[in-house]
Amino acid sequence: MSEWLERHVPKVVLAPSFVAILFFVYGFIAWTAWVSLTRSRLMPKYDIEGFIQYERLFAAPRWDTAMNNLFIFGTLFIVISMILGLLLAILLDQKIRTEGVIRTIYLYPMALSMIVTGTAWKWILNPGLGIEAMVRGWGYEDFKFDWLVNSDLAIYTVVIAGVWQSSGFVMALFLAGLRSVDGEIIKAAQVDGIPTWRIYSAIIIPSMAPIFLSAFIVLSHLAIKSFDLVIALTGGGPGYATDLPATYMYAMAFSRGDIGQAASSAMIMMAVVFAIVVPYLYSELRAAKND
């Protein structure tokens, strides 16, 4: 009996959450996929009509803008956060005295909710209130920094706020990675008279490859899910210039009574996430097998 328990208790304990996830996550993914093939408007309908919603989606200029924005925002957000994070981590790694304090300061933005970040940056970037008004107040009357209200540049303000929020977190990740590199190797390199920048570029950074991958995965799913930052910072505007797929989906599902459109855009978002995560999982699983 006790042997049976020992073997089966974990399964019994896990079963409810397994069933719940099966239903609430995968069940609803299947439901969304089904609805995305119907002509649902205000309420879900279940008569399959083919790929009409996807055709409408790809014909909508607003969806194009949303996908372009995702590409611009995602790329810049991930690349800049990683570069800044790495740089900060390397600088902090120089055994400076007040490291604890500085690390906390850089990590703090991560403790804020995106809504707070977005609202604060909305004020900072507002031409009539923030940086532009301040510099003009100093006497530089021609100074212009109106990205927030310029529909071509507004998406970059989202990048600025996003990077501000996340680079400290990436720094913490990288700092942990730097500390995990074997000190003996570094000392050996120093004894051989190799310059510090070579030690970093040839030894330390290559040995941190798994950290890069984790940082990339964390940042990319943050980018794809981005919703609150845009809502707080620009409200999707000017016009719909800073719409992202998530805000598009929200507008369709909750403001416009166009559930079919919302479901099809949700499926495309999921496909984008899969395109990034599946290769990662695949490589992880293969690595695990090889061990």
Partner 1 sequence: MKKFTFAAASAVAIVASGAAFAEPQAEVLHWWTSGGEAKSVAVLQEEFAANGGTWTDMPVAGGGGDAAMTALRARVLSGNAPTAVQLKGPAIQEWYEEGVLADISAVAEAENWANLLPASIAAHMQCEGSWCAAPVNVHRVDWIWANADILEANGIEMPTTWDEFNAAAEKLQAAGITPLAHGGQAWQDATVFETVVLGVGGPEFFHKALVELDQDALTSDTMVAVFDQMRTMRGYVDDNFSGRDWNLATAMVMNGEAAFQIMGDWAKGEFMAAGKVPGEDFLCASTPGDGYLYNVDSFAMFDVDGDDKVAGQALLAELIMGPNFQEVFNLNKGSIPARTDVDLAAFDVCAHTSAEDMSGTSERGSLLPSYAHGMALRGAQSGAITDVVTAHFNSDMSSADAVQMLADAVANSM
Cα–chain-centroid distance for residue 203? 28
Member of 1, 5, 12, 43 binding partner 1 (CB under 8 A): 43
Smallest distance, partner 1 to C-beta of residue 62, A: 5
Site for partner 1 in 189-248 (CB under 8 A): 234-241
Q: Of 8 and 256, which has the nearer Cβ to partner 1?
A: 256
Q: What is the dihedral of CA 217, 208, 158, 129, to 10 degrees?
A: 150
Q: Of 32 and 126, which has the nearer Cβ to partner 1?
A: 126
Please name the residues in contact with 56: beta carbons below 8 A apart, sequence gap of 6 or more.
Answer: 261, 264
* Contact yes or no for 36/53 (Cβ under 8 A): yes
Member of 251, 263, 266, 268 binding partner 1 (CB under 8 A): 251
Smallest distance, partner 1 to C-beta of residue 125, A: 10
Q: How many CB atoms lie under 10 A from the CB of residue 42?
A: 9
How far apart are the two ends of the chain, measured CA to CA in Å? 35
Classify residue 212 as exposed, middle or buried by CB count within 10 Å of its CB (0-12, 13-18, 19+).
Answer: middle
Q: Of 215 and 231, which has the nearer Cβ to partner 1?
A: 231
Site for partner 1 in 68-127 (CB under 8 A): 122, 126-127
Cα(118)–Cα(64) distance, integer angstroms:
24
Provide the β-strand partners of residue 226. none
Size of the site for partner 1 (CB under 8 A): 33
**Is residue 41 close enough to count as binding partner 1 by CB under 8 A?**
yes
Site for partner 1 in 116-155 (CB under 8 A): 122, 126-128, 146, 148-149, 151-152
Instruction: Point out which residues bind partner 1 (CB under 8 A).
Output: 41-44, 56, 59-62, 122, 126-128, 146, 148-149, 151-152, 234-241, 251, 254-258, 261
